[in-house]
Structure 1
Amino acid sequence: MADDTCDPTVLYRVRDGAYAADLLIAAVAEFDLFTWLAAHGPVPAAELCAALGMAERPADVLLTYCAALGLVDRDLDAGDRVALAPLGRHLVAGTPHDLRAYYGSLAERPAVRELAGVLRTGTPAAWASARPGGEHDPDWSGRLADPSFAGRITAAMDARGAFLAPALARAIADVPITALLDVAGSSGIYAGAVLAGRPQARAAVFERAPVDMAARTLVRDRGLADHVEVITGDMFSDPFPTGFDAHLYSHVLHDWDAPRVQQLLDSSFAALPPGGLLLDHDTHVDAGKRGPLPVAEYSVLLMHSTPGKCWSVRELAEMAGRAGFVDVEHRPTAGDRGVLLARKPAR
């Protein structure tokens, strides 16, 4: 019999870090990053990108990952300057323990080639490296229009939430919420967990078709249909529903680029009442973009397959501030996740 008290975080890390090693192989075999840094560093990240022909978003993910591994030193307060760390010298040409050939022996792995392309162009590859053409839309978001794919993704997100959702609810148990809008809330598992300790509260999942159909089924199967409704809409093109004093994004913002994240935060600010709350539950990179390592590894997967990445606490606080939110704080939850809270000022 399974032990439900056993922490499954290591299993999240195995899945979420699936592409990380391939990114390091690409950095060594395709770009010879560490030999270049040994000759030219410390340098601003922007200069490194220009010299090696890397796009900004994937390069940022790569540098965070390398910093988390201890291969480079990264200093955002000094203009995001990047320097080679002692461990990184093992990947420099001509050093006594040069491992570049060892890494290069795996350069033909398909994901290595995909990630090299993402580093050069900034354009994500197909979700899970699915072969383009035919039934496989290379844009993961576009594939959600397929009810079969939407159902599989919704089931996957629901499985992930079984452990994570109660941890989120515990982390915000002291936060007053009477009506929660779960934006792009997939199966509604997080909304249901938040309501579990708030018998008088209500919630709604704001989700696009056809994911909304899967959400309604899962909400009904949990016996939550009287407390959690599903509102069909596109978060980028439709107005946000009003009448909610808290907006939750759970594993949503990491799928999108900075302009679209800003658009979502702006939309939440406009729809929330004075004093309303913004909640972002996700894997967050630390403010200095040096880790933690499991989050840096997950960011590689997101960079590979979506226009997003794991956003840092500093980046999210800045975007929330631009939208008008104040009193930003961050709380750990479980499984390398955390929740960032921000408040819309009262009148």
Structure 2
Amino acid sequence: MGPEMSPDISEVSPDLAVDVMFACRKTAALKAAIELDLFTLIGDGGTAASLAAAAKASERGVRVLCDYLVVNGFLIKEADTYRLTPSSRTFLVRHSPAYIGGAIEFVAAPEMLSLHLDDPAACVRNGGALGLANISADNPVWVKFARAVGPLVAPSAMALAAEVATWPRKPRKVLDIAAGHGLFGLEIAKTFPEAEIVAVDWGAVLELASQNARQFGVGGRYRTIPGSAFEVDWGSDYDLILLPNFLHHFDIETCAGLLEKCRNTLAPEGRVVGVEFVPNEDRVSPPFPASFAWEMLATTPRGEAYTERELAEMARRAGFADATTKPLPPTPASLVFFE
């Protein structure tokens, strides 16, 4: 028997556990900074006094907030002056083309946080959220989603349109299921001037999607059908059916039923493309897709972050031959082709 192996005590630390216990404080601080437009006000630099005056806030409050943001990597402090990091300048300054700060209104919405924090052990015991949670009909949280997360998904929407642009057959009739903000269908409409988009989602959400369509200059080619994708008659002969960030809300059987409905309403040679966070078969990598399973456990009754093998299984149940995935770096999302 060899020598007894003892743990390296230098690697034994409570730091990770303590950091996670306090993690919601980081969310709160970032939410405060975004609501005060602090990153935009800092610009090329500012002191607590100057920033407090600009934000119409307490100097003490701004100082404590800015110091906390320095500790957590969002700001740099030089003497009494706070400056932006390159990432904060790119993603958290309001007039930046890559601004994503608005997403906090959905990610940290009270109804979202309550699903995660009120009784997470109950979700584990139950194998999913108690009740319908985020998949309840006309849930107002999806209006917040449509307003807030467009900048987060815009790269994926543009990448999907670029992928479709490589196909030999260009889509003319497109269905966007659970359209939300509408960006996936709208990027297709921008890329293909002859394409007509039909969007399905809850009525209040579609009002925002229609506003976005007008802003994109494609309102005349954008039609909406309010209601549940599982229940509405959305027509047929679609060259392309989009399923962006939708299947993960439901179990495999439910997804297979929806995919069969999609297959039955395709035009000859039509295609169905989803956008999903697809973990590897080990279910612990890559980090964001693997972590997304917890998001679904807390916010849906039976949702899941599906592996490519599971997506292929639901495809076959729906009558497709297979499902294949294509990562969309630098985003954590993947395209899913049901063929």
Normalising by structure 1, we get a TM-score of 0.60
Rounded Cα–Cα distance in structure 1 between residues aligned with 2:289 and 2:107:
8
Q: What does 1:324-335 align with in structure 2 at a 5 Å threshold?
A: 324-326=319-321, 328-334=323-329, 335=331
> Over residues 67-118 of structure 1, what are the superposed CA-to-partner deviations in whole Å (9 max), with x where a residue is unaligned?
xxxxxxxxxxxxxxxxxxxxxxxxxxxxxxxxxxxxxxxxxx9946722211
* Aligned equivalent of 1:321, options 316, 319, 323: 316
1:236 maps to amino acid: F
Rounded Cα–Cα distance in structure 2 between residues aligned with 1:8 and 1:210:
25
1:338 aligns with 2:327: no
* Aligned equivalent of 1:115, options 117, 120, 141: 120
Is the CA contact (8 Å cut-off) linking 2:243 and 2:273 kept in structure 1? yes
Is the CA contact (8 Å cut-off) linking 1:250 and 1:280 kept in structure 2? yes
* Aligned equivalent of 2:159, options 140, 164, 167: 167
Normalising by structure 2, we get a TM-score of 0.62
RMSD of equivalent CA atoms: 3.4
1:185 maps to amino acid: A
| Identical positions, percent | 22
1:216 maps to amino acid: S
Is the CA contact (8 Å cut-off) linking 2:237 and 2:268 kept in structure 1? no
Report the Cα offset of residue 255 of structure 1: 1.3
The structure with the largest alpha-carbon Rg is: 2
1:215 aligns with 2:209: yes
Rounded Cα–Cα distance in structure 2 between residues aligned with 1:289 and 1:236:
28
Report the Cα offset of residue 217 of structure 1: 2.1
Q: Secondary structure at the match of 2:220?
A: coil
Q: What does 1:58-97 align with in structure 2 at a 5 Å threshold?
A: none
1:122 maps to amino acid: G
Rounded Cα–Cα distance in structure 2 between residues aligned with 1:224 and 1:110:
37
Alignment partner, residue 35 of structure 1:
none
Report the Cα offset of residue 8 of structure 1: 8.4
Rounded Cα–Cα distance in structure 2 between residues aligned with 1:212 and 1:218:
10
Rounded Cα–Cα distance in structure 1 between residues aligned with 2:186 and 2:207:
17
Higher relative contact order (CA 8 A, sep 6+): 1
Rounded Cα–Cα distance in structure 2 between residues aligned with 1:289 and 1:220:
41
Q: Secondary structure at the match of 1:273?
A: strand
Q: What does 1:175-194 align with in structure 2 at a 5 Å threshold?
A: 175=167, 176=169, 177-194=171-188
Alignment partner, residue 50 of structure 1:
none
Alignment partner, residue 136 of structure 2:
142
Stretch deviating more after TM superposition (214-223 or 278-287): 214-223
Q: Secondary structure at the match of 1:220?
A: helix
* Aligned equivalent of 2:259, options 261, 265, 278: 265
Report the Cα offset of residue 320 of structure 1: 0.7
Rounded Cα–Cα distance in structure 1 between residues aligned with 2:187 and 2:228:
23
Rounded Cα–Cα distance in structure 1 between residues aligned with 2:176 and 2:130:
28
Structure 1 segments unaligned to the other structure (5+ residues) = 23-108, 127-137
Report the Cα offset of residue 295 of structure 1: 0.9
Q: Secondary structure at the match of 2:218?
A: coil
> Over residues 125-178 of structure 1, what are the superposed CA-to-partner deviations in whole Å (9 max), with x where a residue is unaligned?
58xxxxxxxxxxx722336344xx442122124233223211222233313322
Q: Secondary structure at the match of 2:324?
A: strand
Report the Cα offset of residue 195 of structure 1: 2.7
2:124 maps to amino acid: L
Rounded Cα–Cα distance in structure 1 between residues aligned with 2:337 and 2:144:
30
Q: Secondary structure at the match of 1:242?
A: coil
1:225 aligns with 2:219: yes
Q: Secondary structure at the match of 2:243?
A: strand
Rounded Cα–Cα distance in structure 2 between residues aligned with 1:207 and 1:240:
11
Is the CA contact (8 Å cut-off) linking 1:202 and 1:228 kept in structure 2? yes
What is the count of residue pairs matched by the alignment? 240
> Over residues 190-220 of structure 1, what are the superposed CA-to-partner deviations in whole Å (9 max), with x where a residue is unaligned?
1111232222222221223232222222222
Rounded Cα–Cα distance in structure 2 between residues aligned with 1:141 and 1:328:
24
Structure 2 segments unaligned to the other structure (5+ residues) = 1-42, 44-88
Rounded Cα–Cα distance in structure 1 between residues aligned with 2:128 and 2:313:
25
2:251 maps to amino acid: D
